[in-house]
A and B are shown apart, each in its own frame.
Chain A
């Protein structure tokens, strides 16, 4: 089974620009979650999508948004980039439903975003 894939792996943008990151979950997984990881704040939950609907949301400004497509692929968008948005953005997939498989959340390799 192929793992979670994220594209691009590295990205350099300047302040004020916008960026879109992509995540393809494991085949059959319907839940995709996004996290921001920075040295200062650690891993912080951004949001979760399940069956094309946002199911959970962390405490991030509206500049951070996402969506999920019918094939469960998800995109995350950050508008009006700030220096503080430089981070590793991790995507995780899970079945999203009850049962043992629900307890496993598989992460992708991440997209490292640098804002200059």
Chain B
């Protein structure tokens, strides 16, 4: 089974509108971390936001927020007030375990296009 599933290959959003990118995950480990990365056409992966499995509140970082629904195993990224510069690929990722472990599992990504 896939560890991370992103079901939206491509999304379009009007500039200044909010958009939600979906991510579901699969793990039996009670300790895990969920991440979102942005990859512009230049190729560099940019860290956006992190949510730990024991965090009580949803993570927020500026215009980015993570809608964490533990029971449903979903970790959707919400981008508010979209900007043209938000056009990029977005990847959801997970790291499992309490032991220091930097093996990340990535989803297949969602291509976001912001329309002026």
Contact = CB atoms under 8 A, between A and B. Distances in A.
Interface of A: 31, 33, 35, 42-45, 48, 50, 55-56, 58, 88, 90, 92, 94, 96-98, 102-110, 112
A35 B44 CA distance: 12
B102 A58 contact: no
Nearest to A103: B50
B47 A106 contact: yes
Interface in B74-104: 91, 93, 100-104
Given A42-B109, A43-B91, A56-B101, 19 more contacts: A31-B102, A42-B107, A42-B108, A44-B106, A50-B100, A50-B102, A55-B101, A56-B103, A58-B103, A92-B45, A96-B100, A96-B102, A103-B33, A104-B50, A105-B47, A105-B102, A105-B104, A107-B45, A108-B44
B91 A110 contact: no
Interface string B21-46: 00000000000010101000011111
Nearest to B98: A98
A25 B41 CA distance: 22
A98 B104 CA distance: 16
Q: Report the 6 A-B pairs with minimum CB-CB distance, sorted nearest first.
A: A107-B45, A43-B106, A56-B103, A48-B102, A103-B50, A109-B44
A112 B100 contact: no
B105 to A, nearest CB: 7
A107 B45 CA distance: 5
A48 B102 CA distance: 7
A28 B102 CA distance: 16
A90 B105 contact: no
Contacts of A110: 43-44
Nearest to A108: B44
B50 A97 contact: no
6 contacts: A31-B102, A55-B102, A96-B100, A104-B47, A105-B47, A107-B37
B44 A107 contact: yes
B106 A42 contact: yes
B87 to A, nearest CB: 18
Contacts of B42: 109
Contacts of A55: 100-102
